[in-house]
Amino acid sequence: MENYPAPARALVAQLSEKAAADPAKAVAYQGAPGANSHLAALGYAPGCVPLPCFAFEDAIDAVRNGQAARAIIPIENSLHGRVADMHFLLPESGLHIVDEYFLRIRHCLMAPDTTPVKSAISHPQALGQCRHYLRERGIQPVAYADTAGAAALVAETRTPGEGAIAPYLAAELYGLRLVAENIEDSDDNMTRFLVLAREANMPEPGVGPVMTTFLFEVKNVPAALYKAMGGFATNGVNMTKLESYQRGASFAATEFFCDIEGMPGDPAIDRALAELEFHTKWVRMLGSYRQARPRT
C-alpha cells in the first residue's frame, strides 16, 4: 500500500476494509482507485466491492487467498495489443476464466487548480494515445506507473501547471478539476478484460455464443503449427485469436495463446481439440465463458 501516493492510500484502505467484510462481493483489480480496471469492475458487476491491488500478481493472489471472489484483468487493447505478462501469469495462477468484459477507454486531462497545464503525468500508453492532443497544446508528457496513481500524485503535490491524464473517476476520487474530456487521439480505443475465479463455471447450453481460451506448445518439428491447426479448419471451428510467445531462454519452445468460438462438449470442438493434442506437447484449458461481444 505504501507504493501508492497518499490520497490513493486512504481510498485503498477503505476499499480493502469493505472487501474484507464481504469477500464474496469483492472484485480485485490492478491499479490505484480510479483506474480503468476500477471502472471495468464497476461496469462488469455494478454491485461489487472493487479491491485495488498494486500489481497483477496481487490481484490474482487476492482471489487465490479468498480475499476476493473474482479478479478482472486486462488482456488486450485494440491499439496496443496484448497486456504484458498476462500470458505468463494466467497459466501459473491456477484460476479459471469465467467471463469477459469490454471497456471503452476514455482519457481526461485533470489538474488541481485553474493554472494552465504545462505537463501531464500518466502511464506511457495513455500518454501515447493522447500524443496529438498534448503536442498541439505544448503539454510535456511525463511517464508514471499508472493513470489513476498519477492523478493521486497530482492531487498530493498540487504543483501549479502539473496535470494528469486518467479516467474521469480519478478526478472525482481525488478532487481534481476536469480540464478536458475524451482527449484520446483515436475514438476506437477498447480494452478487453478477463474475469478470473477459483472455480470454473462452464456456460449453460443456450446462453448464446461462447468462447474458450487455452494454451498449447507445439512440438519442435517441421510444420508443427500447420498440423496442429488443421483440426479447427476441418471441423469448422472459428479461431479468433492465436498469439505466440517464448518461455525461457532457449527460444526453441514456442507457446500459443488461443481463443475459439464454442466449448468442450460440442462434437466439432472435441474433435478439433483431440487433433490439437495429438500434434502438441501439451494443451492447457483456461476457461469457457459467454461472449460479451459477438465475434462473427
Question: Bridge-partner residues for 213, per DSSP?
Answer: 259, 287
Residue tagged active-site, from 54, 56, 193, 216: 193
- What is the C-alpha end-to-end distance of the chain, expressed in Å? 43
Q: Which cell numbers hold the place of 41?
A: 469492475
From the number of C-beta atoms within 10 Å of its C-beta (0-12, 13-18, 19+), residue 96 rates as buried
Cα–Cα nearest to 216, from 181, 247, 180? 247
Active-site residue 114, yes or no? Answer: no
Residue tagged active-site, from 54, 56, 147, 191: 191
Distance of CA 120 to the CA centre of its chain: 24
Active-site residue 193, yes or no? Answer: yes
Ramachandran assignment for 206, one of left (phi > 0), alpha (psi -120 to 50 degrees), beta (any other): left
Q: Which residues are catalytic?
A: 191, 193
